[in-house]
Amino acid sequence: MNDSAAVIEIRDLRYAISGRPIFDGLDLKIARGGVTAFMGPSGTGKTTLLRLITGQLVADSGSIQVAGSDLCSLSRSELYALRRRMGMLFQNGALLTDLTVFENVAFPLREHTRLPERLVRDLVLTKLQAVGLRGAAQLMPGELSGGMTRRVALARAIILDPEILIYDEPFVGLDPISKGVVLRLIRRLNDTLGLTSIVVSHDVREISSVANTVFLLSGGKVVAHGTPQELRSFPSEIVQQFMGGLADGPVPFHYPAGDYYTELLAREGVA
Partner 1 sequence: MARRTSHTLNMGTGLFVLLGFAALFFLTTQTTNRGLTIGSRPHYDVTAKFDNVGDLKVGSPVSMSGVEIGRVVTIDFDLKDYKALVVMRLDSKYSKIPSDSDASIYTQGLLGGKFIGLTAGGAETYLKDKDHIDFTQSAFVLENLIGQFLASFTKSATPAPEKPK
Partner 2 sequence: MKTLQELWNSLHAALVEIGAMVRFLVRLLIVAPRALVRFSLVAEQIYNAGALSLVIIMLSGLFVGMVLGLQGFQLLQRFGSEEALGTAAAIGLVKELGPVITALLFAGRAGTALASELGLMRATDQLSAMEMMAVDPIRRVVVPRFLGGIIAMPLLAAIFSMIGIYGAQLVGVQFMGVDSGSFWSQMRSGVALVDIREGIVKSLAFGVACSLIAVYEGYYAVPTAEGVGRATTRTVVTSAVVTLFLDYLITAMFL
Where does this chain bind partner 1 (CB under 8 A)? 98-100, 103, 138, 140
Judged by beta carbon, residue 78 or residue 175, the one nearer partner 2 is: 78
Q: Which of 81, 246, 264, 265 contacts partner 2 by CB under 8 A?
A: 81
How many angstroms separate the Cα of 220 from the Cα of each of 31, 197, 217, 226?
A: 21, 22, 7, 18
User: Is residue 83 involved in binding partner 2 (CB under 8 A)?
Assistant: yes
* Whole-angstrom distance, CA of residue 38 vs CA of residue 1: 25
User: Is residue 91 involved in binding partner 2 (CB under 8 A)?
Assistant: yes
* Whole-angstrom distance, CA of residue 214 vs CA of residue 155: 25
Residue 103 binding result from partner 2, partner 1, none, given CB thresholds of 5 to 8 Å by partner type: partner 1
* Whole-angstrom distance, CA of residue 109 vs CA of residue 240: 45
Closest contact distance (angstroms) between CB of 140 and partner 2 is 14
Residue 99 binding result from partner 1, partner 2, none, given CB thresholds of 5 to 8 Å by partner type: partner 1
Judged by beta carbon, residue 113 or residue 229, the one nearer partner 1 is: 113
Site string for partner 2, 37-56 (x = CB under 8 A): -----------------x-x
Residue 229 binding result from partner 2, partner 1, none, given CB thresholds of 5 to 8 Å by partner type: none
CA 22: distance to chain centroid? Answer: 17
Which long-range contacts does 251-255 make (Cβ < 8 Å, 24+ apart)?
Answer: 251/41, 251/218
User: Is residue 107 involved in binding partner 2 (CB under 8 A)?
Assistant: yes
Helix (H) or strand (E) holding 166: strand 164-168
Q: In sequence order, which ranges of 54-201 are alpha helices (DSSP H)?
A: 76-83, 101-112, 117-130, 146-157, 176-193
Closest CA to 136 of 123, 155, 158: 155
* Whole-angstrom distance, CA of residue 90 vs CA of residue 47: 10
Residue 202 binding result from partner 1, partner 2, none, given CB thresholds of 5 to 8 Å by partner type: none
Judged by beta carbon, residue 54 or residue 213, the one nearer partner 2 is: 54
User: Is residue 150 involved in binding partner 2 (CB under 8 A)?
Assistant: no
Contact residues: partner 2, CB under 8 A? 54, 56, 80-81, 83-84, 86-88, 90-92, 94-97, 107-108, 111-112, 153, 156, 160
